[in-house]
Amino acid sequence: MMTLIKERVPTPERPVEERLKGFMEVNLGYTFELAVKEAERCLQCSPAPCTQGCPVHIDVPGFIRKLRENRDNPEKAVKEALEVIWACNTLPAITGRVCPQEDQCEAVCVMGKVGEPINIGKLERFVADYAREKGIDEKLLQEITPKIEKKKEKVAVIGAGPAGLTCAAELAKEGYQVTIFEALHKPGGVLVYGIPEFRLPKETIEKELEKLKKLGVEIKTDYVVGRTITFDELLEEYDAVFIGTGAGTPKLLNIPGINLNGIYSANEFLTRVNLMKAYAFPEYETPIKVGKKVIVIGAGNTAMDAARTARRLGAEVTIAYRRGEEDVTARVEEVAHAKEEGVKFEFFLNPVEFIGDENGRVKAVKFEKMRPLEERDARGKRKLVPTGETAVLEADTVIIAIGKTTSKLLRMTLPQIEADEHGVIKVNENMMTNIPGVFAGGDAIRGEATVILAMGDGRKAAKGIKQYLEEKRKSS
C-alpha cells in the first residue's frame, strides 16, 4: 500500500561551528536525487494554489513535473524545468533563496494541510543552481535570444534592485532597448548590499546579472538619477521610465544618543560588510568596528541578517525587540538559524536612550519594559503599553534595524512624481505614476516589503510599459 510522504526531504546545512567561521552559504541545497525525491511528494494540483500564492505566478507543478518526468536525464529535467520558471521569473537562484515561501507559495500548498508543504523554494533554487553549474542556462539563453525581435523603443530603469532587474529582463525579452541606472558601483540593490553572503552568495547574483546583460540590458553604475542625470533628461531620451529605487533610507530612533560612535543603521553595517567586504579588512579597505557586545534593535529579516553577521565578526549578539516572540516578522528559517548560531533574544524592550562613555562611544542601551495587551492594532499585532520599568543592557555596538523609508534623494530630486507623505509613490493598476510613461514598483511604491513582491511589481510594470508603448506606437 502507498503511504503519504508527509515530511519534506531535508536540505543539508553547514554545521554551526563551521558557518560561524566565515560567510559561506549556510544551506547547501538539494542534489538531483534529493530534488527528485522531494518533487515526488507534489500532488500536481490543478488549479494549483501554490502558483496563485507566488507573486509572479510561476507554474510550480509544471516545473516540478519536468523534474519527475526526466528522472533519468538530469540535464533535460533541469532545462525543461528552468524553461517553465523563466517564463515568469528570470532570477530563480535569488528568489529560491530569499523569498519568504512560508508566507507565499508554500503557505497554500495542499500538502501543508496534513504535513509539510512541498519545499518549492529549495526546488526552484536547485533548478537554477544546477542549470548554472552545467551551463544549461547558457544554452537556454542562446536558444531564446535569437528569437527576440528588436524594437526601437528605449526604456530607462532607475535602480538595479529586484524590481528594476525584473522589469528590465521582462522588457528585454520583449525586444525593447533597456538601460538600468544604478547609483552604487554594483547592481543588485538590497541583494548586494543588504542580504549577506551566507544567505545569498554574491557570485550567484553576479551570474544572474550576466544573464541580463546577455539579454541586451545595459547597466550604468555610478549613475545617481536626480544628480548625474535629471529625470527630465531621462524623459526626453527614453520612451518610458520605470522607477525601482526601493526604500533605502534607514529609519533611525529619535532618542538621545543616536549619534554616538558604535551605533550603526543596519544599512550601513550591512553595506560595509556585504558590498564593501569589511569582514576581510584590511585586505578589503573598508573598515568596520564591532565590539564584544552587540545589540540589534528590531526583529525583521534585516535584524537577523545584521545579528548573524555580527556573530560572524566575533561578537556576542542580542536582539532586542519591543514586541514579543510571536510578533517577530523575520522568516522562520532565519530566526532558527540565528538561534542556532547563538544570537540571544530579549522581548518587550523599547529603547529610550543610548548611553555613551567619555569618548563618545556607546556603552549601554536603556530600555523601557513593555507589556502586551490582548487588544490588537490595525496590523493584527498586540498593542503595547509601557510599564514604567527600565532595563539597561551593556553594548559597545548597536545596530538599528527598525525599517527603512523611500529614498530621501528621490523625494528631493523628483518632486513632480505624486507620492504620499512618506514618499511612497502612487501608481495605478498598470503601475503607472501620475506622469504618463513613468511607471514604478517595488519598495518605492510599498515602503519596505519583500524581494519577490518587488519582482512581481517589476514584471507587472513591464506589462504596463509594453501596453503603453504599443498604444503610443498605434496612435502615432
Partner 1 sequence: MNVCAEVFIVYEILEKREIAANNVLYKIHAPHIARKVQPGQFVVVRAFENGERIPLTPVMWDAEEGWITLVTFIRGRTTLRMNMELQEGDKILNIAGPLGNPAPMKKFGKILAIGMITGIVEVYPIAKAWQEIGNEVITLHIVPEPMIILKEDLEKAVSKHIVESFPLKEGMGMPEIFKELVTRGQAKVRELIEKEKPDLVFMVGPARGQKAIFDVVKEYGIPMEVDLHPIMVDGTGMCGACRVTVGGEVKFACVDGPSFNAYEVNWEELIARSEFYADLEKKALEDYLTKLQQGGAQ
Cβ closer to partner 1: 224 or 424?
224
Total residue length of the chain: 476
* CA torsion, ordered 191, 197, 201, 205, to nearest 10 deg: 20
Minimal distance, residue 170 CB to partner 1, in Å: 21
φ and ψ of 363, to 5 deg: -130, -15
Cβ closer to partner 1: 227 or 383?
227
Residue closest to 44 by CA, chosen among 72, 71, 14, 66: 66
Burial 182-210 (b: 16+ CB within 10 A, else e): bbbebbbbbbbbbbbbbbbbbebbeebbe
Could you give the residue ranges of the DSSP H alpha helices within 99-246?
120-133, 136-144, 162-173, 190-193, 202-214, 231-237
**Cα 71 from Cα 412, distance rounded (Å):** 55
Which of 13, 75, 138, 218 contacts partner 1 by CB under 8 A?
A: 218
| Strand 177-181 with 154-158, pairing | parallel
Query: What kind and span of H or E run contains 338?
Result: helix 332-340
Please give the size of the binding site for partner 1, defined by CB under 8 A: 51
Residues in 386-425 that interact with partner 1 by CB under 8 A: 407-409, 412
Contacts of 412 (CB under 8 A, 6+ apart): 226
Cβ closer to partner 1: 7 or 283?
283
Cβ closer to partner 1: 284 or 345?
284
Cβ closer to partner 1: 26 or 469?
469
Q: Is 252 in the site for partner 1 (CB under 8 A)?
A: yes
Q: Is 24 in the site for partner 1 (CB under 8 A)?
A: no
Minimal distance, residue 155 CB to partner 1, in Å: 12
Minimal distance, residue 252 CB to partner 1, in Å: 6
Question: Residue 405: helix, strand or coil by DSSP?
Answer: strand
Residues in 263-302 that interact with partner 1 by CB under 8 A: 264-265, 267-268, 271-272, 276-277, 280-287, 289
With contact defined as beta carbons under 8 Å apart, do 401 and 417 qualify? no
Minimal distance, residue 246 CB to partner 1, in Å: 9
CA 108 centroid distance within chain: 21
Q: Sketch the per residue contact string, 219 through 238, with partner 1: x for CB under 8 A, - otherwise.
A: --xxxx--xxx---xx--xx
Cβ closer to partner 1: 127 or 156?
156
| Angle, helix 136-144 to helix 202-214, in steps of 10 degrees | 20
Cβ closer to partner 1: 13 or 218?
218
How far from each other are the two terminal CA atoms of the chain, in whole angstroms? 67
Q: Sketch the per residue contact string, 146 through 185, with partner 1: x for CB under 8 A, - otherwise.
A: ----------x----------------------x---xxx
Which of 248, 300, 351, 456 contacts partner 1 by CB under 8 A?
A: 248
Longest dimension (CA), the chain: 74
Q: What angle do CA 121, 27, 131 make, to 5 degrees?
A: 60
Q: Sketch the per residue contact string, 188 through 217, with partner 1: x for CB under 8 A, - otherwise.
A: -----x------------------------
Cβ closer to partner 1: 350 or 407?
407
**Structure-block grid coordinates of residue 428:** 495605478
Minimal distance, residue 411 CB to partner 1, in Å: 10
Cβ closer to partner 1: 32 or 223?
223
Q: Sketch the per residue contact string, 321 through 360, with partner 1: x for CB under 8 A, - otherwise.
A: --------------------------------------xx
Residue whose entry in the numeric block shows the C-alpha cell 496534513? 114
Minimal distance, residue 143 CB to partner 1, in Å: 27
Q: Where on the chain is the footprint of partner 1 (CB under 8 A)? A: 156, 179, 183-185, 193, 218, 221-224, 227-229, 233-234, 237-238, 248-250, 252, 254, 258-259, 261-262, 264-265, 267-268, 271-272, 276-277, 280-287, 289, 359-361, 407-409, 412
